[in-house]
Amino acid sequence: MDQALPFPDRLAAELADGIDRLTFKTDLSSWDSGFLAFISRLLKLCEERKIRVEREGLPEGVRQLLAMAEAAPVQKLAGTGQSDESLLFRMGSAMLAVFRDGPAMLGFLGEIIISFSRLATGKIRMRWGDLWWEVEEAGPRALLIVSVISFLVGLILAYLGADQLRMVGAQIFIADLVAIGMVREVGALMTGVIIAGRTGSAFAAKLGTMQVNEEIDAFRTLGISPIDFLVLPRMVALILMVPLLTLYASFVGILAGLLISTTIFGIGLFEYYNQTVAALDLSHFMVGLVKGTVYGSVVAYSGCLRGMQCGRNATAVGEAATSAVVTGILLITISASVLTVFFYQLGI
């Protein structure tokens, strides 16, 4: 063949409508994939026009490859079709997924409680080096981001309070708003969210990578509990450090309110200080510390849970880190609601 093959569509346009049979008369010593693709498209055109095809004139290799191609099942392209699922169906599926995940979450919580009980009774020995490493990662190395966020939140609270209190000439109570808000609620809440995004995702990524590398399977093979060896130090580290970070965040937020009030709103330094001291008492600090402890626990729990549930590929590690942050913030929000109502009912 010294000429280029015609396009099948052009050839089909030139074919007369009265043709009912197609035969091949070839004497080819060699052919390539282009010829095979041309014949395959031509056969499809003949099938569409109800034209009978006699393949005896084709080379034996071409006939065999055409038979193999026709025998193979047609596969759908991934991701080309659109889902027919309604929004209501997807919402229901998401809710069912949460309920399906419930038993796994409760089971993991039970394992952690058992591990803590073994630690309390001296039946297991924690690797203190791992604990201090996690304490350093979760605490001192998080001070910068906690400082920035807490300062900005304190500034926002001061401006919000000033805008309303100016109407009644009670700007001095900005100190009460900032101090009580930061110590009781906002300091712990913002610290929990920061730690969920920073440390919780890191826990999930580290444990997920160990799942991919089958290191956790190796622990189980050696008779070492991954909960005792990997999860427990991380849980203890956040339970210890998040309350301390909460106190630090509260102090930074109050300092931001002090700076704004004395420089922008004309409140005296000692007036602001005395008003802050009068507004706060020990119960406010206890509420903040309890909330910080709970938030640290749920963040560590979420990060370790998603890391231990991670799949065996790199994509699963990223999904585990994302899921850890989402789960952590969700549990923090639920815990904040429950604790706020609880302390209100107690009158604290």
Whether residue 191 lies inside any domain: the answer is: yes
CA distance 235 to 250: 23
Given a cut of 60, is residue 138 above it in pLDDT?
A: yes
- At 1, the pLDDT band (50, 70, 90 cuts) reads very low
Whether residue 78 lies inside any domain: the answer is: no
Whether residue 296 lies inside any domain: the answer is: yes
- 161 CB-near residues (< 8 Å, 6+ apart): 173, 174, 177, 178
Q: Of 71, 99, 115, which one is at a domain's C-terminal end?
A: 71
Q: Yes or no: say if 305 and 196 are a contact pair by the CB < 8 Å rule.
A: no
155-170 mean pLDDT: 84
Neighbours of 122 (CB within 10 A): 7
196-222 mean pLDDT: 91
CA distance 263 to 226: 54
Tokens 């990997």, residue located: 230
Radius of gyration of the chain (CA): 34
**Same-domain pairing of 226 and 145:** yes
What residues does 22 pair with on adjacent strands? 53
**Owning domain of residue 213:** 125-346
- 291 CB-near residues (< 8 Å, 6+ apart): 184, 185, 188, 189, 192, 246, 335, 336, 339
Whether residue 109 lies inside any domain: the answer is: no
* Cα 346 off chain centre by: 35
**Same-domain pairing of 66 and 129:** no
Whole-number pLDDT of residue 13: 62
- At 7, the pLDDT band (50, 70, 90 cuts) reads low
The total domain count for the chain is 2
Whether residue 60 lies inside any domain: the answer is: yes
- At 15, the pLDDT band (50, 70, 90 cuts) reads low
DSSP letters spanning 165-189 = HGGGT-GGGHHHHHHHHIIIIIHHH
Mean pLDDT of the residues in the chain: 84
Whole-number pLDDT of residue 31: 75
How does pLDDT run across 275-321, given as a tens digit for each residue? 999 998 899 999 999 999 999 999 999 999 999 988 888 888 988 89
Given a cut of 90, is residue 237 above it in pLDDT?
A: yes
| pTM, two decimal places | 0.71
**Same-domain pairing of 254 and 143:** yes
- At 97, the pLDDT band (50, 70, 90 cuts) reads low
Whether residue 107 lies inside any domain: the answer is: no
Q: What percent of the chain has pLDDT over 70?
A: 87
